[in-house]
Structure 1
């Protein structure tokens, strides 16, 4: 019998001003010396506070894309570090994870936006220099620390939070797809009952609080719940539950010029609607979810980006179906099934 497996970070800390606990939290998980992968925006915003918290740390600037070459360069630059720290957006974070994999070191993660659920995971998504998904690398364990300063998150453009909500809202549908298709999670195990409960709770929070969080001027209770749902709950859900068509679609969207500039969670929102339109969801479910996405400024059709030609949709579908989790669905899908699903979204827009 296949084992039930759930993975999670050793320690998760969230709240306004959490960045000022970084030294204390790193001491709890074993200390340094540390080397920090930090993107330029995060360095401008937090560089002095990071240096005051970690005075001996080497701050390594992130080059802009999480490629194999970028990971190797940061791994070399880390020198004698005994801990990697990733600070910034998802690709800087994944670069820190990739460098930690190459060096065999633990990693601490400090996201500055809540645009996706990568911070808690043991996975690093690697891209080509042309920004297409190249593959996935796996750490042996999840991050030792995930520290989320919601004052920093609240200061970021709300587009990033909306993308995080889009990423997180895929989870009930993808878990259902993985369970129906017999797929395993990212630990090669079956989802636990706790994973199912996490998915349900995240969905409840997002549907109830997302609009209030999007309009909040700073951090309030709705904002805190939504950030936790997009970062922690969604991260546990995808990794310990499994993915399906929604994330498979990201592979096809990322190689389509008109769509490649979308944030990951914006792509996932389109992928989730496509997954439902391929047969998993009723017309009413699709309309309801699409209306929710529109209220928080997430995309709901391909035509709005000028992507409607049969050849272009066919290419998206072909690439999407190469994802290893594409079979996680209640029925086998072919290229024509995904093309028709994408067209249905445009017709109903």
Structure 2
């Protein structure tokens, strides 16, 4: 059996860690193309100036326009070539990070997330959009980032909603990896890095990936609420540090090397409903996780444990919580159909999938969660 595991070369996390960014740039050369939204760059400008002076390196600011499009990637690559940059830095949230991945093409890449809202920083994939912001395509590179550098002081000063959304994304990691392992499905670590030619077979996940995914879930239950309290106070505590590691590293390695299942596919289906557009990725994935547990008829105790966690940290548990106050049968079937297209991860579940069953799981999950939430609030 062919197995695969993929990870960044280095993961470093700590308070004021951006002050050490120049050290890692120095391992590639003396200059780095800096890709980040101007607001994110300005938030850490003092640290960038300090590390550049200390380590004798130069940041070439790119004027990132905010969209990871083919045109923007080409513009950024031209700047990197013209200025002779030795490495690429993606600083900020998802689109700046994805743009940096596309510019670097798997070489000499440093990722510096300023929020912990998703598990994208460690992965070897990116999402491309049109200049207008519509989805274009997925991109995969030959390796994950060279360095992921996480400054917990910066993340502690970001809005708490980002951290909680990251917990929603991380919440799905174990349940999706568990399902993928049970079905021996191909995992993201074996997706094409160039041509598929020459590969004998797609790879399945490793025991290590499943163990990390399980630790991801266990740490959420143990430290999630305490980390949220620290974030509300803009403070770094041990629980907060643990959840940053959970949201970014454990979830990142768990999803990419452990696989995705129904939760993310249901998230993708939900995006056709306009009411969901104002909610973050992880917030919708949290509901997708509850729907996956209903779809696979998970034990009631496990479902209640997940619901208790979501309600404790403030994650959505029902459709109304993600902006869907009502849904017609036609809309429900459209959501389920999108979740079930052939290339979706829902087909990694260890049993056959039908559109009607997915639609039923979504409605049942909504009702179960709504009633559970009402009973808790009534106590």
TM tier, smaller: over 0.9
User: Where does the alignment leave 5 or more consecutive residues of structure 2 unmatched?
Assistant: 191-202, 371-379
C-alpha distance in 2, partners of 1:39/1:326? Answer: 34
C-alpha distance in 2, partners of 1:135/1:212? Answer: 38
User: Partner of 1:311 in structure 2?
Assistant: 330
Please give the residue correspondences for 1:61-210 in structure 2 after superposition, counting only pairs within 5 Å: 61-79=63-81, 80-101=84-105, 105-128=107-130, 131=133, 133-188=135-190, 189-210=203-224
CA shift in 2, pair 1:297/1:65, >3 Å: farther
Q: How many residues align?
A: 345
Contact 1:9 1:144 (8 Å CA) reproduced: yes
User: Where does the alignment leave 5 or more consecutive residues of structure 1 unmatched?
Assistant: none
> In the TM superposition, what is the alpha-carbon distance from 1:150 to its structure 2 partner?
0.3
From 5, 29, 32, the counterpart of 1:31: 29
Task: Show CA shifts across 1:198-241 (max 9, x none).
Answer: 11212111100000000013101111111111111111111111
User: Partner of 1:333 in structure 2?
Assistant: 353
> In the TM superposition, what is the alpha-carbon distance from 1:93 to its structure 2 partner?
0.5
Contact 1:171 1:234 (8 Å CA) reproduced: yes
> In the TM superposition, what is the alpha-carbon distance from 1:286 to its structure 2 partner?
2.2
> In the TM superposition, what is the alpha-carbon distance from 1:130 to its structure 2 partner?
6.1
> In the TM superposition, what is the alpha-carbon distance from 1:51 to its structure 2 partner?
4.0
Contact 1:132 1:254 (8 Å CA) reproduced: no
Counterpart secondary structure, 2:44:
helix
CA shift in 2, pair 1:144/1:242, >3 Å: same
User: Partner of 1:214 in structure 2?
Assistant: 228
CA shift in 2, pair 1:297/1:219, >3 Å: same
User: How big is the alpha-carbon RMSD for the aligned residues of Structure 1 and Structure 2?
Assistant: 1.9
CA shift in 2, pair 1:223/1:39, >3 Å: same
C-alpha distance in 1, partners of 2:327/2:174? Answer: 28
User: Partner of 1:259 in structure 2?
Assistant: 276
Contact 1:253 1:260 (8 Å CA) reproduced: no
> In the TM superposition, what is the alpha-carbon distance from 1:76 to its structure 2 partner?
2.7
Contact 1:41 1:88 (8 Å CA) reproduced: no
TM-score by length of 2: 0.86
